[in-house]
Amino acid sequence: MNILLIGSGGREHALAWAISASPLCDKLFIAPGNPGTAQCGENVVLDIADHRAVADFCKLMGVGLVVVGPEGPLVEGIVDDLEAAGIKSFGPSRAAAQLEGSKAFTKELCAEFGIPTAAFARFTDEAAAKAYVAKTGAPLVIKADGLAAGKGVIMAETIEQANDALAMMFSGGLGAAGAEVVIEEWMVGEEASFFALCDGTHALPLASAQDHKRAFDGDTGPNTGGMGAYSPAPVMTKAMEEQVMAEIVRPTLAGMNQRGTPFKGVLFAGLMITADGPKLIEYNTRFGDPECEVLMPRLKSDLVPALLAARDGVLNAVDLRWSDEVALTVVMAAKGYPGTPEKGSVIKGIDKAAAAKDVLVFHAGTQANGEEIVANGGRVLNVVALGRSVSEAQAKAYAAVDLIDWPGGFCRRDIGWQAVKREREG
């Protein structure tokens, strides 16, 4: 079968790597892809926003499955439009992607179906929101309802910070995303991510991961899309995974079904492991980036039949095998990220790093310039290593990072530090 993968990040290189290894995959196209995905298939120039053009391409090339990586096209309804054109597509419908597209939607679903999450209130009016803050007191978490590229969440330790955040959002500081605001209880605990594959009715657990959102060592500096991750998350025991499936993932699927908008695709639960058990922070409706880069190397089974079964509603017949090893990724970013990254700097030594034992290098914001690879985005490379422990995977990943010669880039030197500390303390 021919497959089209949509996206251009490290997540898509990891997916392209897994999909192209499948005996079911004859030809893989990636739109737009990056120089890494070009090693797994053929990058194609397509206007992703033009769903009819994507459908026409699929018909012309005999594409039997479309896999959508990022959230943007999902929220724009690409799966609805491709399916309507008769093309099998993996990912949620526009209505089901509201689990990521609208925080208020998800909070209401949690309230209706008893899914554990932070207490919350919704506002479209600044004065009413400020009155609620005055009544509740700090700390609080202030969130823009819509997609805000990771900038829509403000942790307010004081009433003043909460009011400043509300003023910023209601005055259009985040555009339309801030027209509605959700105010949440500040939950305390350790964060972890959990991924499940869903076919509308059944959910198949994938794996857990933890990431590092802050730009600099010691979890300091501005928030980013993620500077590194590892899987599995040591805090997620088998029992905890079962609790998350029973209390969070399955009730979400049942609720979405009951509302007539069944969820198909990857459900990515951001969790807070509190003293009262796991609680939902938020959902994403796709693989995480860089979490996907640590999930794919641990997956022992063929990914393609699982994606097809999720699309076809027959996931109950699928069983996936996972490596017991830990995978850890270090993101290498261009200087300036997460502000304005410097583009065009030359990166050397990628092949040397990728040739190291138990190491994979996934491209994100790179560009081929003749024989050279240059930086062309914020997050540029993912250096992934497998090991028997987080400490071992971390050591191998940094040894490979050190083979890459890129004065224009930087990375954190402490990815996995909490888990490494936990392993040392035994």
Tell me which residues touch ligand GLY (CB under 6 A).
211, 225-226, 284, 288-289, 291
> What does the alpha-carbon distance between residue 272 and residue 244 come to, in Å, rounded to a whole number?
11
To ligand AMP, the closest distance from the beta carbon of 421 in angstroms equals 19
139 contacts ligand AMP (rule: CB under 6 A) = no
Separation CA 139–CA 120 (nearest Å): 13
Which residue intervals of 206-335 are DSSP H helices? 238-244, 250-258, 291-295, 303-312
118 binds ligand AMP (CB under 6 A): yes
Q: Which helix (H) or strand (E) holds 100?
A: helix 98-101
Size of the site for ligand AMP (CB under 6 A): 11
Of 12, 184, 289, 291, the one binding ligand AMP (CB under 6 A) is 184
248-279: b (≥16 Cβ within 10 Å) or e:
bbbbbbebbeeeebbbbbbbbbebbbeeeebb
| Nearest by Cα to 384 from 358, 423, 411, 419 | 358
Residues 6+ apart with CB under 8 A from 344: 374, 375, 376
Which span (87-95, 182-190, 238-246, 395-403) binds ligand AMP, by CB under 6 A? 182-190
Measured from the CB atom, is 114 or 186 closer to ligand AMP? 186
Least CB distance to ligand AMP at residue 223 (A): 7
Residue number with CB closer to ligand GLY (123 or 287): 287
Q: Does 291 participate in binding ligand AMP (rule CB under 6 A)?
A: no
Among 256, 281, 331, 397, binds ligand AMP (CB under 6 A): 281
Which entry of ligand GLY, ligand AMP, none binds 297, CB below 5 to 8 A by partner kind?
Answer: none
Q: Could you tell me which stretch among 186-194, 257-265, 294-302, 401-409 binds ligand AMP (CB under 6 A)?
A: 186-194
Yes or no: say if 216 and 401 are a contact pair by the CB < 8 Å rule. no
Nearer CB in complex with ligand AMP: 211/392: 211
* Widest Cα–Cα separation across the chain: 62
By CB under 6 A, residue 174 contacts ligand AMP: no
| Residue 389, φ and ψ in degrees, nearest 5 | -140, 170
| Site for ligand AMP contains 277 (CB under 6 A) | no
DSSP 117: B
Binding of ligand AMP by 141 (CB under 6 A): yes
- Which spans of this chain sit near ligand AMP (rule: CB under 6 A)? 118, 141, 153, 184-187, 191, 270, 281-282
